[in-house]
Amino acid sequence: MKRTKVKDLLNSSAFGSEVVIKGWVRTFRNNQFIAINDGSTINNIQAVVDFTNTDESLLKKLTTGTAVSISGELIESLGKGQKVEIKVKELEILGDSDAEKFPLQPKKHSLEFLREIAHLRFRTNTFNAVFKVRHALAFAIHQFFNDKGFVYLHTPIITASDAEGAGEMFKVTTLDFNNAPKTESGEVDFKQDFFGKATNLTVSGQLEGELAAMALGEIYTFGPTFRAENSNTTRHLAEFWMIEPEVAFADLYDNMQLAEDLLKYVISYALKTCPDEIEFLKNRLLEEEKSKPQEERAELDLTAKLNFCLDNSFERLTYTEAIEILKNSTPNKKKKFKYLIEGWGADLQSEHERFLVEKHFKKPVILTDYPKDIKAFYMRQNDDGKTVRAMDILFPGIGEIIGGSQREERLQLLEKRMNEMHISTEELYWYLDTRRFGSAPHAGFGLGFERLVLFVTGMTNIRDVIPFPRAPKTAEF
Q: Where does residue 207 fall: left (phi above 0), alpha (psi -120 to 50 degrees), or beta otherwise? A: alpha
At its nearest, how many Å lie between ligand ATP and the CB of residue 331?
Answer: 20
At its nearest, how many Å lie between ligand ATP and the CB of residue 8?
Answer: 36
Judge contact between 383 and 368, C-beta under 8 A: no
At its nearest, how many Å lie between ligand ATP and the CB of residue 9?
Answer: 38
- Side-chain-side CA neighbours of 302 within 13 Å: the count stands at 27
List the beta bridge partners of residue 226. 239
At its nearest, how many Å lie between ligand ATP and the CB of residue 202?
Answer: 12
Q: CB nearer to ligand ATP: give 66 or 221.
A: 221
At its nearest, how many Å lie between ligand ATP and the CB of residue 348?
Answer: 9
Q: CB nearer to ligand ATP: give 23 or 446.
A: 446
CB atoms within 10 A of CB 400: 17
CA angle 167–375–171, rounded 5-degree value = 15
What is the distance of C-alpha 30 from the center of its chain? 41
At its nearest, how many Å lie between ligand ATP and the CB of residue 268?
Answer: 20
Q: Read out DSSP for 54-107?
A: S-HHHHHT--TT-EEEEEEEEEE--STT-SEEEEEEEEEEEE---TTT-S--SS
Binding site for ligand ATP (CB under 6 A): 166-167, 227, 229, 235-237, 240, 242, 400-403, 446, 448, 450-451
CA angle 299–300–302, rounded 5-degree value = 140
Whose CB is nearest to ligand ATP?
A: 448
Cβ partners under 8 Å of residue 297, min gap 6 = 289
Q: CB nearer to ligand ATP: give 306 or 447.
A: 447
Judge contact between 58 and 50, C-beta under 8 A: no
Judge contact between 248 and 212, C-beta under 8 A: no
Residues across the chain: 477
At its nearest, how many Å lie between ligand ATP and the CB of residue 236?
Answer: 4
Quote the CA–CA distance of 256 and 242 in Å, as a whole number. Answer: 17
Q: Quick one: which of 345, 418, 429 has its CA closest to 164?
A: 418
What is the distance of C-alpha 82 from the center of its chain? 33
At its nearest, how many Å lie between ligand ATP and the CB of residue 371?
Answer: 14
At its nearest, how many Å lie between ligand ATP and the CB of residue 266?
Answer: 14
